[in-house]
Chains A and B, each alone.
Chain A
Amino acid sequence: MKIQSLKDLKKISQAYEKQIYAPEGIKVNIGMASCGIAAGAQAAMDKALETYRDNKNVEICQTGCIGFCEQEPLVEILAVNKPRVLYQNITEDKIIDAIEGYMAGEFNKNKKSILGQLRDPRSLLDDDIENPLDGVEPIDDIPFMEDIPFYSAQVKVAMRNCGYIDPDCIEEYFAKKGYIAFLEALKKNKPAEVIETVKASGLRGRGGGGFPAGIKWATCAKHHGDRYIICNADEGDPGAYMDRSILEGDPHSVLEGMLIAALGIGSSQGYLYVRNEYPLAVKRLVTAIKQAEAYGLLGKNIAGTDFSFKINISTGAGAFVCGESTALMASLEGKVGRPRAKYVHTVEKGFRESPTNLNNVETYANVPAILLKGADWYTGMGTEHSKGTKVFSLVGKINNTGLVEVPMGISLRDIIYDIGGGIPKKKNFKAVQTGGPSGGCIPEQFLDLSVDFDELAKVGSIMGSGGMIVMDQDTCMVDVARYFVDFLRDESCGQCNPCREGLKQMLDILTDICDGNGKKGDIEFLEEIGAMMQKFSLCGLGTSAPNPVLTSILFFRDEYEAHIRDKKCSAGVCKPLFHYEIDPDACNGCTLCAKKCPQNAVAGKKKEPHVIDQENCIKCGICYEKCKFDAIKIC
Chain B
Amino acid sequence: MSEAAMMEKVDAVDIDYMELDDIIEKDFGQDKENLIMILQAIQRRYNYLPPPALNYLSTKIGIPMSQIYGVATFYSTFSLEPRGRNIISICLGTACHVRGGARVNDKLEELLNISDGQTTDDKRFTLESVRCIGCCSLGPVVKINEDMHGRIGSDEIEKVLDQYE
Q: Which residues of A contact B (CB under 8 A)?
A: 34-35, 37-39, 69-70, 72, 235-241, 244-245, 276-278, 314-320, 331-337, 393, 395-397, 401-402, 433, 436-437, 467, 469, 471, 475, 480, 483-484, 487, 493, 596, 598, 620-622, 625
Contacts and interface: CB of A to CB of B under 8 A. Distances in A.
B98 to A, nearest CB: 5
Nearest to A472: B98
A241 B34 contact: no
B74 A401 contact: no
A396 B134 contact: no
Contact of A318 (B35, B75, B134): B75
A336 B154 contact: no
A393 B136 contact: yes
Contacts of A625: 100, 153
Contacts of B40: 276, 315, 317
B132 interface: yes
30 contacts: A34-B134, A38-B138, A69-B138, A235-B134, A238-B92, A238-B94, A238-B95, A239-B132, A241-B136, A276-B77, A277-B132, A314-B37, A316-B36, A317-B36, A317-B77, A318-B130, A319-B76, A332-B33, A333-B33, A334-B32, A337-B74, A395-B95, A396-B95, A433-B94, A467-B95, A475-B98, A480-B98, A483-B94, A484-B94, A621-B103
A140 to B, nearest CB: 31
B150 interface: yes
A334 B36 contact: yes
Most chain A CB atoms below 10 A, which of B35, B78, B155: B155
Interface in B18-45: 31-37, 39-40
Nearest to B43: A317
A598 B136 CA distance: 27
Contacts of B35: 334-335
B132 A620 contact: no
A598 B134 contact: no
B103 A620 contact: yes
A397 B74 CA distance: 33
A312 B134 CA distance: 23
Contact of B136 (A37, A395, A433, A622): A395
Interface in B70-94: 70-71, 74-78, 92-94
A395 B135 CA distance: 10
Contacts of B112: none
A53 B2 CA distance: 57
B94 A401 contact: no
The 10 closest A-B CB pairs, nearest first, are A238-B93, A69-B137, A317-B75, A38-B148, A238-B132, A334-B35, A318-B76, A241-B134, A395-B95, A318-B77
B135 A396 contact: no
B108 to A, nearest CB: 13
B127 interface: no
Interface residues of B, number: 45
Contact of A335 (B39, B71, B138, B139): B71
Contact of A277 (B33, B75, B99, B134): B134
Interface string B126-153: 0000111111111101000000101001
Contacts of A235: 134
Nearest to B91: A238
A469 B97 CA distance: 10
Contacts of A331: 36
Given A34-B148, A469-B98, 8 more contacts: A238-B94, A316-B36, A334-B33, A337-B75, A402-B137, A469-B94, A480-B98, A622-B154
B150 to A, nearest CB: 5
A484 B36 CA distance: 27
Contacts of A467: 94-95
A532 B35 CA distance: 36
Interface string B34-63: 111101100000000000000000000001
A239 B130 CA distance: 12
B155 A596 contact: yes
Nearest to A397: B98
B116 to A, nearest CB: 10
A565 to B, nearest CB: 25
Contacts of A238: 92-97, 131-132, 136
A147 to B, nearest CB: 22
A402 B136 CA distance: 8
Contacts of B78: 317
A620 B138 CA distance: 21
A402 B139 CA distance: 12
A130 B34 CA distance: 49
Most chain A beta-carbon contacts within 10 A, residue among B31, B34, B131, B132: B132
Max chain A Cβ within 10 angstroms of own Cβ: one of B96, B103, B130, B137: B137
Given A277-B130, A317-B36, A334-B32, A35 B137 contact: yes
B67 to A, nearest CB: 8
Given A39-B150, A277-B132, A336-B70, A72 B137 contact: yes
A333 B139 CA distance: 35
A278 B94 contact: no
A316 B131 CA distance: 14
B137 A70 contact: yes
A454 to B, nearest CB: 24
A397 B141 contact: no
B66 to A, nearest CB: 11
A318 B137 CA distance: 21
Contacts of A396: 94-95, 98-99, 136
Contacts of B67: 335
Contacts of B76: 317-319
A401 B94 CA distance: 14
Contact of B155 (A319, A337, A622): A622
A336 B74 contact: yes
Nearest to A313: B37
A241 B33 contact: no
Contacts of B134: 34-35, 235, 241, 244-245, 277-278
A469 B154 contact: no
